[in-house]
Homo-oligomer: A and B are copies of this chain.
Amino acid sequence: MIVILKNDPNPRQLENLRNWLRSMGLEIHESRGANSHILGLVGDTSGVDIDLISALDIVREVKRVQEPFKKASRAFHPLDRCVDVGGVPVGRGHFTLIAGPGTVTHRDQVLEAAARAKEAGVQIFKAAAFKPRTSPYAFHGLGREGLDLLLEAKKVSGLPVMSVMTSPEQLDLFSQVDLIELDHRAMQDYELLRALGKTQKPVLLRRGASATLEEWLMSAEYLLDGGNENVLLCDGGIRTFESNVPAALDPSCVPALRALTPLPVLCDPSVACGRAALVPALAQACAAAGCDGLVISASLDPQHALTEGPASISFDLMKTLSKRIGLLRAALEASHVQ
């Protein structure tokens, strides 16, 4: 951590600051120039609250040298993490397709969708029973009944399942769900993060609509610090000025996160782009950027069902896309070997 002082700091205040920093076990390297006076802090600064120091009259700015996260940091955990989701390995070279309809609506739908998903090459089936919605008047899912139907689909299809959890009180209800999905609006729901941190349940942690990579990893740190190492990150786009798409898919985050963290990184082009026509191109883009898997909205007869959002693709297209991505990844791997 580096503390940049204002010109001519009050000597008594400066001495107070030095003493306080030393009392936290930090060593101070001081560098003084014509226009700058800097304190370089050496030691474990993860416990130092950057805001407290910034508040001092004599301080111009404080800059971190190290990241504020540790358990999510590649610096401390260099090896790629691999998470087991109901027998399906995610991360460390594996590539995982998670797909399914937005919501469980009735028994036939979820059973048939799971069968079609399996046939299309999907490895983890997804559907929400508890559906966070911006409007109180929208359909919020079938709840417990929907979850039962999803678990029946799991049994029949043999695919592990992912579903959205919205409250710590649902933990028991989700005991047979293989992968807990946290909605992007819940990335900083610390109650939920702490509750899940105490379990060993795999968690898919979606990036908040305007979360920085650091904030996102700090939320992962809540899970990891609680003792749960089964964390997957999933980008579904970030909020920008551009109104052509609901959110701008951010493939830059894939290689950027690779450098910062060993956690698997997935991408969800469906929620980002908001319409089916863009999904294949963006799914390919994310795969080519090197992500560990994709989350895709796919449903039976998207054109006539009137029950799915405009980003849902058909399982036929899902199947084609799954093959294309396999070929694309093979081509990239082949060229690595050359």
Write out the residue numbers on chain B whose beta carbons fall within 8 Å of the beta carbon of A36.
Answer: 40, 42, 65-66
Closest to A334 in B: B327
**A158 on the B face (CB < 8 A):** no
Determine which of B63, B167, B212, B284 lies in contact with A243 in the assembled complex, contact meaning CB atoms within 8 Å. Answer: B212
Write out the residue numbers on chain B whose beta carbons fall within 8 Å of the beta carbon of A112.
Answer: none
B327 touches A331 (CB 8 A): yes
B-facing residues in A127-176 (Cβ within 8 Å): 132-139, 166-168
Closest to A215 in B: B134
B-facing residues in A231-249 (Cβ within 8 Å): 237-245, 248-249
A63 touches B63 (CB 8 A): yes
Stretch with Cβ within 8 A of B (4 or more), from A91-99, A114-122, A188-196 = A188-196
A132 touches B185 (CB 8 A): no
Write out the residue numbers on chain B whose beta carbons fall within 8 Å of the beta carbon of A272.
Answer: 252
**A323 on the B face (CB < 8 A):** yes
A286 touches B284 (CB 8 A): no
A218 touches B248 (CB 8 A): no
Copies in the complex: 4
**A295 on the B face (CB < 8 A):** no
Closest to A324 in B: B335
Determine which of B41, B190, B255 lies in contact with A278 in the assembled complex, contact meaning CB atoms within 8 Å. Answer: B255
Write out the residue numbers on chain B whose beta carbons fall within 8 Å of the beta carbon of A285.
Answer: 251, 254, 285-286, 288-289
**A49 on the B face (CB < 8 A):** yes
B138 touches A49 (CB 8 A): yes
**A200 on the B face (CB < 8 A):** no
Report how far A288 CA is from B185 CA in the complex, Å. 29
Given contacts A242-B238, A251-B285, A281-B290, contact A34 B43 (CB under 8 A): yes
Not counting A49-B138, A245-B252, A255-B273, a sample of 20 additional A-B residue pairs whose C-beta atoms are within 8 angstroms of each other reads: A29-B31, A31-B42, A35-B66, A36-B42, A36-B65, A47-B137, A52-B307, A56-B306, A68-B135, A136-B225, A167-B168, A185-B189, A238-B240, A238-B248, A244-B256, A254-B281, A256-B278, A281-B288, A324-B331, A327-B334
